[in-house]
């Protein structure tokens, strides 16, 4: 009888050690760091990408830009140097998806308000309507925080070019009119090297949660 209990105790000890090892392997497998993809034009729907770069498979990044924000300040890529940021395209008079997108940007702003690594950038696709004064009114109404979130306007050709050739984010109007665009619900996550690391449906709360999670994953990348 004593021998039985000794054997059982040994079995329990071995079983316990094996169980711990198995649990550790499963835990480490599920929590393995997986870097975010780096999106290239060839990976994105052709309707969102300028035909001149649709087959590009590497080296894509956001081009230099210069716009004017809600405070009349010139905003360039230098203002986003060494920053992670979320970008989108909108217009202040939109009554369909824009209010939802902007409200979700407000939620993101709340989450990153004390995070100096992360900023937001929203481009107007109707710059002839969205003047500095109009953007300022909109920013006040939505609670945009200066220094954290820039709403920008500027030359429509530059905005269109940046949207199609850099952010891979808008459709043309389908009528052959140059520089007329139909913005999408996309939010783009941009890394510190000005590369696209994710696309998200700015009207979908689940996608916003994923975007916030991906920001944390991207921040981990810079710690390694």
60 belongs to an annotated ligand binding site: no
119 membership: H or E segment, kind and range: strand 118-124
Cβ atoms of residues 152 and 169 within 8 Å: no
Residue 94 counted as an annotated binding residue: yes
Closest CA to 196 of 151, 158, 162, 149: 162
177 is in an annotated binding site: no
CA distance readout (Å), 221 to 34, 204, 207, 217, 224? 9, 26, 21, 7, 6
Residue 170's closest CA among 156, 188, 152, 184? 184
Q: Which whole-number Å values give the CA distances from 23 to 26, 33, 81, 120, 121, in the listed order? A: 5, 18, 42, 40, 43
Strand 149-153, strand 186-190: pairing: unpaired
Q: Transcribe 4-46 into DSSP letters.
A: HHHHHHHHHHHHHHHHHHHHHHHHHHHT---PPP---GGGS-G
DSSP letter (8 states) at residue 80: G
Binding-site sequence positions: 94, 98, 183
Tell me the binding residues for Cu cation: 94, 98, 183
């Amino acid at each position: 009888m004593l021998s039985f209990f000794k054997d059982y105790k040994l079995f329990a000890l071995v079983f316990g050690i094996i169980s711990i090892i198995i649990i550790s392997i499963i835990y480490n497998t599920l929590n393995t760091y997986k870097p975010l993809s780096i999106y290239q034009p060839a990976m994105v729907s052709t309707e969102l990408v300028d035909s001149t770069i649709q087959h590009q498979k590497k080296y894509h990044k956001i081009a230099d830009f210069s716009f004017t924000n809600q405070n009349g300040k010139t905003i360039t890529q230098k203002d986003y140097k060494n920053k992670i940021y979320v970008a989108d395209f909108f217009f202040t008079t939109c009554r369909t998806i824009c209010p939802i997108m902007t409200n979700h940007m407000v939620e993101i702003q709340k989450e990153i308000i004390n995070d100096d690594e992360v900023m937001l950038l929203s481009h107007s696709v109707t710059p002839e309507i969205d003047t500095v004064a109009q953007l300022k009114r909109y920013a006040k109404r939505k609670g945009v925080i200066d220094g954290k979130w820039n709403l920008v306007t500027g030359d429509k050709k530059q905005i269109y070019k940046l949207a199609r050739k850099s952010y891979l984010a808008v459709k043309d109007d389908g009528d052959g009119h140059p520089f007329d665009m139909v913005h999408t619900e996309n939010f783009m996550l941009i890394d510190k090297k000005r590369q696209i690391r994710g696309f998200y449906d700015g009207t979908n709360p689940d996608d916003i949660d994923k975007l916030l999670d991906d920001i944390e994953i991207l921040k981990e990348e810079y710690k390694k």
